[in-house]
Amino acid sequence: MIFSKKIEPNPLTIKSFFERTIKEFPQRPSVSFVHGEPLTYAELGKKVNEMANKLYSLGLKKGDKVALYGHNMPNWVIAYFAVATNGLVIVPILPDFTREEVENVLTHSESKVLFVSERLFTKVEGLKLPDLVATIKLDNLALLNDDVVQKEDVSIDDIEVAEDDIAALIYTSGTTGRSKGVVLTHKNITFVVMQSYSFQAIDEFDVFLSFLPLSHTYENSLGLLFPMMYGSSIYYMEKPPTAAALIPAMGKIKPTIMLSVPLIMEKLYKSQILEKFSKKRFSRMIYKNFIFRKIIHRIAGKKLYKTFGGRLKFFGIGGAKLDARVERFLKEAKFPYAIGYGLTETAPLLAGAAVGKTKLQSTGTALPGIDLKIHEPDKYGVGEIWAKGPNVMREYYKNPEATQEVLTDDGWFKTGDLGKFDKRKRLYIRGRAKTTIIGASGENIYPEDIESVINNDQFVTESLVVEEDGFLVAKIILNIDELETNIDNFKSAVEERKEKSKQTFHDLDERYHNWLQNYKKELNSRLNRNSQIKRIDVMDEPFEKTASQKIKRFLYTKSKDGKDNKGNEDKKKK
């Protein structure tokens, strides 16, 4: 076996390490669809060079912005490197952005060229974009403009890229609803890619299965640039990553590395583990026993490992907090999971715990070269997490006020997350500073902790805890299939009511009302005195989420006029 060594590009630019990879691994497979034929790195390099020449033939100059709006595919990678390695600035746009959001990004960024997938073309068709010179169809890299004059004899050989040059302008899809353009330099991004090796060594024989959006910083840095630095292979799904598509894909390519968000593993745990041991009294009794639970988890872990292809050595989880019960299962199952923490503004990695070095509910230690501190900790050691290092963004694009709010004069970035350290400097995230609720006695209430308790219930798919009129309210999505087994004809009653009127689940028969009241009582028995739920709202539709599957909280909080941010009137529910 060939053991790789940590690569330290000089200079710290995407261009520097990409050119090295093309030279070192020309015949190794680079990117492909799961059921496609991989491009070699030599072929990838050639296509990237051809596309870069095409971009400059359109009249672009160094520093111009190029937007990339599409689903994961090899051509996404070609477009990305054609831009990022040749002095242009990439503007990745998340596939789930609305037409209005896409228009705002393209206008605000002053993008000159747009790559767009065929499936997303309707979202940009007809938009008035004064800065846009050309549109390129991502599926076949064909120019869609007939009236664009292309220059001949364009050379990109003399384009130099420096560490402090802007590499990417990334518009976040945050939980607060305010999308800002994060300016990341080549050094910001390449530093994180380089240092990721400290958490997991990889080489040219590693195989990545990529299914999170490449336009999200997490997947972009760790699921694309990191494997590219070491000549690894990356495979993309032709279809959305549902279980029906993901399982055969894993069986076919047998990945060694995968990245995920907590929601995927949490759903797997609830459907495959918890559900099986919560239906019968005897099963529940066995599962509650510490010794039997560990045996069950170990057996389940072996089956799960085979489902993932049998070669997995690193399953990275990031983007949101992982549920404690799910993490306990992964640990007892000896599943090769790792935890990471970061933000778009830090390109993104700040801390992590490698496989075998995880501590329950900790996001691990700081990435080498990064300084982390807790600003103004309370008596429990909890305070806002501040970060400093080569990966901290330059600024928010054309937004000096927002930049000044998060960057101090001496270079510290205010993450907006609350956390604390243990004696070994392992970081524990408590929640977002802006979502923390101040209780009646002045105590801090972290809604994420309450949601974790609620989400462990077999009858709940997901939840959101907010403050309304001075009380805690839990908004939940029900697992109707599970409730059907406990309340006769529950599913048919729900469907019938939905067809007849706009009434919600709360208008169902007395059996449901009794169940809901009992559920609230049982839930509060598992929560401390400060975290008691006053009201439960059952939602009719799934929560809207960000790319990392975090709920967009701002959409579900009430304003002073009694309406939520979707404009819905407040309903007094039990």
269 in the same domain as 199: no
pTM assigned to the model = 0.84
The pLDDT confidence band at residue 568, using thresholds 50, 70 and 90, is very low
What's the number of CA atoms in the CB half-sphere (13 Å) around residue 479? Answer: 17
The DSSP code sequence of 331-375 is: HHTT--EEEEEE-GGGSSEEEEE-TT---TT--BEEPTT-EEEEE
Please tell me the predicted confidence (pLDDT) of residue 448.
Answer: 86
Q: Looking at residues 52-77, what average pLDDT do you find?
A: 97
Q: For residue 131, what is the enclosing H or E element?
A: none
Split at pLDDT 50, 70, 90, the class of 453 is confident
494 pLDDT exceeds 70?
Answer: no
Same domain, 46 and 168: yes
Distance between CA 314 and CA 156 in Å, rounded?
Answer: 38
Phi-psi category of residue 33: left, alpha or beta, with phi > 0 → left and psi -120 to 50 → alpha: beta
Question: Which strand (E) or helix (H) includes residue 453?
Answer: helix 447-455
Range of the domain at 469: 447-556
- Tell me the pLDDT band of 26, cut-offs 50, 70 and 90: very high
**Cα separation of 33 and 209, whole Å?**
10
- State the total domains in the chain: 3
Instruction: Work out the number of other CB atoms within 10 angstroms of the CB of residue 354.
Output: 19
d(CA 292, CA 45): 53
Question: What does the pLDDT read at residue 302?
Answer: 95
Q: Do 386 and 321 share a structural domain?
A: yes
Looking at the structure, do residues 175 and 31 belong to the same domain, yes or no?
yes
Phi first, then psi: give them for residue 563, nearest 5 degrees.
Answer: -110, 150
pLDDT of residue 481: 76
Q: Is the pLDDT of residue 487 over 80?
A: no
- Answer whether 34's CB lies under 8 Å from 207's CB: no
Query: Mean pLDDT of all residues in the chain?
Result: 89
Residues pairing with 233 in the sheet: 207
Enumerate helices (H) and strands (E) in the chain, giving the number of each.
Answer: 17, 25
Identify whether 255 is part of a domain.
no
Q: Note the pLDDT of residue 559.
A: 52
Look at residue 187 and tell me if it is in a domain.
yes
- Which residue do the tokens 């701002």 mark? 554
- Is residue 196 within 8 Å of 257, Cβ to Cβ? no
Tell whether 321 and 212 lie within a shared domain: no
The pLDDT assigned to 493 comes to 56
Q: Are 76 and 42 in contact (CB under 8 A)?
A: no
pLDDT tens for 136-166 read 999 999 999 888 888 887 888 889 999 999 9
Is 546's pLDDT higher than 50?
yes
Please check whether residue 191 is in contact with residue 232, taking contact to mean a CB–CB distance below 8 angstroms. no
The answer to the question of residue 125 being in a domain is: yes
Portion of the chain with pLDDT greater than 70, in percent: 89
Closest by Cα among 351, 331, 334, 333 to 342? 351
Which structure tokens are listed for 100?
Answer: 């209005």
Residue ending a domain, among 226, 250, 269, is 226
Identify the bridge partners of residue 371 per DSSP, sorted by sequence position. 388
- Percent of the chain at pLDDT exceeding 90: 66
Which tokens sit at 251? 């069986």
pLDDT band at 173 (very low <50, low <70, confident <90, very high): low
**C-beta of residue 529 within 8 angstroms of C-beta of residue 445:** no
CA distance 316 to 262: 10
Whether 359 and 453 map to the same domain: the answer is: no
Residue 288 within a domain = yes
CA gyration radius for the chain?
25
Residues 6+ apart with CB under 8 A from 187: 11, 12, 13, 163, 164, 390
pLDDT at residue 401, rounded to an integer: 95
Tell me the mean pLDDT in the region 37-55: 97
* Sequence letter at residue 136: I
Q: Take residue 62 and report the two structure tokens written for it.
A: 């160094």
pLDDT at 564 over 80: no
Query: For position 388, what pLDDT does the model report?
Result: 98
What is the tens place of the pLDDT at every residue in 497-518? 555 554 444 455 566 777 788 8
| Model pLDDT, residue 445 | 87
* 3-state SS assignment for residue 19: helix
Inside any domain, residue 248: no
What is the pLDDT at residue 234?
Answer: 98
Do 90 and 214 fall within a single domain? yes
Residue 69 has pLDDT above 80, yes or no: yes
- The C-alpha atoms of residue 170 and residue 192 are separated, in whole angstroms, by 16
Range in 196-200, 242-246, 326-330, 561-565 with the lowest mean pLDDT: 561-565
Judge whether 88 and 108 are in contact, CB under 8 Å. Answer: no
Report the range of poorest mean pLDDT among 142-151, 323-332, 373-382, 498-507: 498-507
Indicate whether 174 pLDDT > 70: no
**Token duo for residue 497:** 């009511």
pLDDT at 352: 98
- Shared domain for 179 and 47, answered yes or no, is yes
- Indicate whether 154 belongs to any domain: no
Do 428 and 493 fall within a single domain? no
Contacts of 240 (CB under 8 A, 6+ apart): none
User: Which range has the worst mean pLDDT, 47-51, 99-103, 302-306, 407-411?
Assistant: 99-103
Report the alpha-carbon distance of residue 365 to residue 362 in Å, rounded: 9
Quote the CA–CA distance of 367 and 196 in Å, as a whole number.
8
Please check whether residues 418 and 471 belong to one and the same domain: no
Q: Where are the alpha helices (DSSP H) in 254-323?
A: 262-269, 281-288, 290-307
Q: Are residues 414 and 507 in the same domain?
A: no
Angle between helices 324-332 and 290-307 (to 10 degrees): 80
Residue 236 binned pLDDT confidence (cut-offs 50, 70, 90):
very high
Q: Is residue 6 part of a domain?
A: no
The H or E element spanning position 416 is strand 413-421
Q: Which CATH number belongs to the domain containing residue 475 in this structure? A: 3.30.300.30
Which CATH number fits the domain that encloses residue 382? 3.40.50.12780
Read off the pLDDT of each residue in 165-185 and give the average, rounded to a whole number: 82
The residue to which tokens 């050595």 are assigned: 313
What's the pLDDT band for 221 if we cut at 50, 70, 90?
very high
Query: pLDDT: is 420 or 145 the higher one?
Result: 420
Residues 259, 33: contact at Cβ < 8 Å? Answer: no
* 50 — pLDDT class (breaks 50, 70, 90): very high
Cβ-in-10-Å burial (0-12, 13-18, 19+) of 367 comes to: buried
Residues 59, 123, single domain; the answer is yes
Alpha-carbon distance 495 to 505, whole Å?
10
Task: Label residue 162 left, alpha or beta by phi (over 0 means left) and psi (-120 to 50 means alpha).
Answer: beta
Residue 571 lies in a domain: no
CB environment 396-421: b (16+ within 10 A), e (fewer): bbeeeeebeebbeeeebbbbbbbbbb
pLDDT of residue 1: 41
Do 383 and 374 touch, CB atoms closer than 8 A?
yes
pLDDT at 178 over 80: no
